[in-house]
Chains A and B, each alone.
Chain A
Amino acid sequence: VGLKRVPPTSAPIRLRPVSDQDLGPLYRIASERPEEWARVCHRGVPSPAQFGDRLWAGVLAQFIIELSDGVYEPVGLVSLHSADFANRTAWLELVSFGPGNQDGAYASGLLLLTRYAARSWDFRKLYFETLEFQGSPLIGVPGVEKEAHFREFYYHDGRYWDRMIWAIDNSKFEPESLIS
């Protein structure tokens, strides 16, 4: 699903810092849908005591995406992590809070984070990974290319699924022009 088909939402949206009050709801997502949160759950769901450390391990910046329908409500989490300043790369991650289709909000949240990253640091490339059943609103956007494809990498729901690594080339990717 690309941004051409899932445009950024036109509803008011914002990124806000993660607070202590978010840890409970975020832990519930990790417990219920670990397959969608590789960074935190790739070695299994952490204990509640470990969760806070795992949530922030290697993180450069992360925010709650909030969408307004009169009142701002959290719909997802976007993170910038595993920064390699020597080689000017970092990794992006999106965790949707679901249920409900908020692809436009996720697209907007990711674009706001990439713009934040571009204004804050001189990264050349941003990577993100997806599992076959996940997709990403950034796939199909100019400047976003698949650079690795691991067949049958992750076991979930009775079968193995592929894992892909995608790269955003910041010389070709223009979040400013995509943000309405």
Chain B
Amino acid sequence: VKGLGLTGARVSLRTLLPEDERRLYAEELSESLGSRWRLGGATPSPRQHSASLWANVLAQYAIVKTRQPAEFVGVTAAYDADHRNGHAWIAVAAVAAYQGSGLAIGGAGLFIDYMFHEWPFRRLYAESMEFSIRAFSHASPAHLQVVGRLKDDRWHDGRFHDRLILQIERTTWEAGMGKELADRRRRMEERSAPG
């Protein structure tokens, strides 16, 4: 995978390309995902969708399978970074073909490593609707702490659902990742070393 070089055993991160944006547009407006994702059933123009995809974004990558042909799995992003107070928000989404596979969460794990490696954030936050929280069952509960539950916040599929606010603490994340994280960072540094 050419680009960032963040490569895991099953998934990797690479630059988000225009064709990825077109794919995401089609996915987000699809019958299966249209009302579940952030658009909540709305159908913006492709240009509006692209702008919203990059609004207040600090970093954003495509998640692809590491094994060729490197199929597109989803997208992960950091936004609303608050460097003054040491936190940012992250998001992850899988396309319909990889919903529930755990691959997008694997990509989010690489991305969280990247965020903590590149910036001195103390913690990262994420939002999830209660009907999407199953996607996080592939993540270690120790890394994810629910710090908020906005009850009946958003309408979906005939009723209001809770919006959850999740926290990932740097110290907890790094302690939990331990040797695996240290090894991955060493490989990253070796790949980025000149020559």
Contacts and interface: CB of A to CB of B under 8 A. Distances in A.
Interface of A: 42, 44, 86-87, 89, 124-125, 127, 147-155, 160, 165, 167
Nearest to A156: B85
Interface stretch (B63-71, B144-152, B176-184): B144-152
B135 to A, nearest CB: 20
Contact of B147 (A127, A149, A167): A149
Nearest to B56: A43
Given A150-B148, A155-B86, 14 more contacts: A86-B40, A87-B154, A89-B153, A124-B152, A125-B151, A147-B150, A148-B148, A148-B149, A149-B148, A150-B147, A150-B167, A152-B122, A153-B85, A154-B85
A150 B150 CA distance: 13
B118 interface: no
A147 B150 CA distance: 6
B84 interface: yes
B8 to A, nearest CB: 30
Interface string B141-173: 000000111111111000010000101000000
B82 interface: yes
A125 B153 contact: yes
10 contacts: A44-B84, A87-B153, A124-B152, A147-B149, A148-B147, A153-B87, A154-B85, A160-B85, A165-B150, A167-B150
A130 to B, nearest CB: 13
Nearest to A169: B151
Contact of B155 (A86, A127, A149, A154): A86
B92 to A, nearest CB: 20
Contacts of B152: 124-125
B148 A147 contact: yes
Contact of B150 (A44, A148, A149, A154): A148
A125 B162 CA distance: 12
Listed from nearest, the 4 A-B pairs whose CB atoms lie closest are: A148-B148, A87-B154, A147-B150, A148-B165
A86 B153 CA distance: 10
A160 B123 CA distance: 13
A152 B150 CA distance: 20
